[in-house]
Amino acid sequence: MTIPANSNATLAERDLRHVWHPCTQMHDHGEGTVPMVPIVRGEGAWLVDAEGRRYLDGVSSWWVNLFGHANLRIAAALADQAGTLEQVIFAGFTHEPAIRLAEELVRVTPAPLQRVFFADNGSSAIEVALKMSFHYWLNRGHGEKTRFIALSGSYHGETLGALSVSDVALYRKTYAPLLLTPLLAPSPDAYEGEPGETPAQTAARRLGELRTLLERHAHETCAVIVEPLVQCAGGMRMYHPDYLVGLRALCDEFAVHFIADEIAVGFGRTGTLFACEQAAVSPDFMCLSKGLTAGFMPLSAVLTTDEVYEAFYAEYNAGKAFLHSHSYTGNPLACRVALETLAIFRDEPVLERNRQLAAHLARRLAPLREHPQVADVRQAGMIAAVELVADKVSRRPYPADERRGLRVYLHGLQHGVLLRPLGNVVYFMPPYVVTGQELDLLVDTAIQGIERAIAD
């Protein structure tokens, strides 16, 4: 019997001969511990492999997809743009998709954000925000400000600057000798709150600790960078919006910038278009990517204020210009796709529908609170997470090397569902086009997967 040229096995074998994958110990695939799944097409919330098997995309293909795979409306806009203008140098030249996208982003974000700088992925947006904040203070005569404050458990990407302000050991530890040393403020993460403390009380206590840090270090600090409301890669840890209100006030009081990394939580994920809205605050820098193009194209944007922009605006020889250039800055295809994404938010009741889906998800997950190996079930809009523990009372986690989450992943694959736990945290972040029935399938498969993962 010959294996067909386009079978899963053939494509996987060819892949493993040359391709090196992200966030992957290739040995897992090389030794057959984890299958390499070749996807040939997608439709709605589903991915289809080379042999026609379907997988419900419970993680929006790494949190990027909003309106389904191969969404026809976005695909048509992309095709139209590709036949018109695919790319043009973005220094000295501009184009309507970028102009309109900047106008739209300014319109939908908090009022003080008036200036838009494009890059082409989330980590690069973080690099831009860090450099811009540092350079702002330098241009204002405060070159002594060179440090950043990040939260424990934070994740802001994996280029060296972005990784510097990240605190997930898995990604950071190995490369630590190459990185800047940020100041870490304890996360307001409600799961790590004191027994009996409400999330608002945890937020208040953590603000007190941030104040202490600022009292000591504000003079050398450019900015505080946070993921508003949900620390995603750090385990979908969630916190009370009061923290953002207090953070805004502290940043003003101590003259440091507030950088909001909305790369994962932006574009409706937490129930509002942007997570910052739930605290009614405006950051000095807002970083956007992932959902910005509904999962179609790599693109990111950093929004900032006129006040920041003006610190760079000077006669050429003053040498104050912001310097950060990517070849594909403001790529017209990506900008056009982002515009279509925003048009869908305008034309369709996306957030309203998400509220119903989120309520459905909450109902289905509620019984897991009683589960003996579940310490926490938490949710912020279209992000929900279940924290598995070895011991419910002490909240002792399963040792990482037991790879319990991987068992849930493998169970999901066998049953046509893509769930990709972060360590012991089983989470749900489906595309917004998911149906109630599909959510049921996600949750049922996750529960079966959890049972398998905790057995022995």
For ligand PLP, the binding residues (CB under 6 A) are 121-123, 126, 155-157, 227, 232-233, 261, 263-264, 289
Cβ(150)–Cβ(186) below 8 Å = no
Provide the terminal-to-terminal Cα distance of the chain, rounded to the nearest Å.
39
Binding residues for pyridoxal 5'-phosphate: 122-123, 261, 326-327
Least spacing, CB of residue 292 vs ligand PLP, in Å: 10
Q: How far is the CB of 371 from ligand PLP (least distance, A)?
A: 27
The letter for the amino acid at 153 is G
Residue nearer to ligand PLP on the CB measure, 275 or 281: 275
In this structure, the number of other CB atoms found within 10 A of the CB of residue 435 comes to 13
Rounded to whole angstroms, how far apart are CA atoms 71 and 355? 21
Are residues 223 and 149 in contact, defined by beta-carbon separation less than 8 angstroms?
yes
Coil, helix or strand for 7?
coil
Least separation, in Å, of the C-beta of 190 and ligand PLP? 18
Q: Are 263 and 272 in contact (CB under 8 A)?
A: no
Minimum CB distance to ligand PLP smaller for 237 or for 240 = 237
Candidates 257, 254, 298; CA nearest to 129 is 257
- For the annotated binding site for substrate, the residues are 62, 155, 290, 325, 420
- Give the nearer residue to ligand PLP in terms of CB position, either 11 or 302: 302
- Which of 122, 412 has the CB closer to ligand PLP? 122
Question: Cα separation of 93 and 4, whole Å?
Answer: 49
- Measured from the CB atom, the residue of 264 and 335 that comes closer to ligand PLP is 264
Nearer to ligand PLP, 68 or 157 (CB): 157
User: For residue 394, what are the contacts with CB-CB under 8 A and spacing of at least 6?
Assistant: none
Q: Is the CB of residue 387 less than 8 Å from the CB of residue 376?
A: yes
Of the pair 302, 447, the CB lying nearest ligand PLP is at 302
Q: b/e map of 395-425 (b: 16 or more CB within 10 Å)? A: eebbeeeebbbbbbbbbbbebebbbbbbbbb
Pairwise CA distance, residues 98 & 76, whole Å: 18
Burial class (CB in 10 A: 0-12, 13-18, 19+), 161: buried
Q: How far does CA 376 lie from the centroid of its chain?
A: 21
> Concatenated DSSP letters for 225-262?
EE-SSEE-TTTSEE--THHHHHHHHHHHHHT-EEEEE-
CA angle 63, 277, 232 (to 5 degrees): 30
Report the nearest approach of ligand PLP to the CB of residue 385 (Å): 14
Q: How many CA atoms lie within 13 A of 208 on its CB side?
A: 5
Rounded least distance, CB 162 to ligand PLP, Å: 6
**Measured from the CB of residue 298, what is the shortest distance to ligand PLP in angstroms?**
7
Q: Give the residue with the Cβ less far from ligand PLP, 123 or 354.
A: 123
Residues flagged as binding site: 62, 122-123, 155, 261, 290, 325-327, 420
Question: Considering the complex, what minimum distance in angstroms separates the CB of residue 64 from ligand PLP?
Answer: 8
Min separation Cβ 14 and ligand PLP, Å = 26
Please tell me whether residue 115 adopts helix, strand or coil conformation.
strand
Pick 130 or 410: Cβ nearer ligand PLP: 130
Least CB distance to ligand PLP at residue 107 (A): 23
- Residue closest to ligand PLP (Cβ): 122
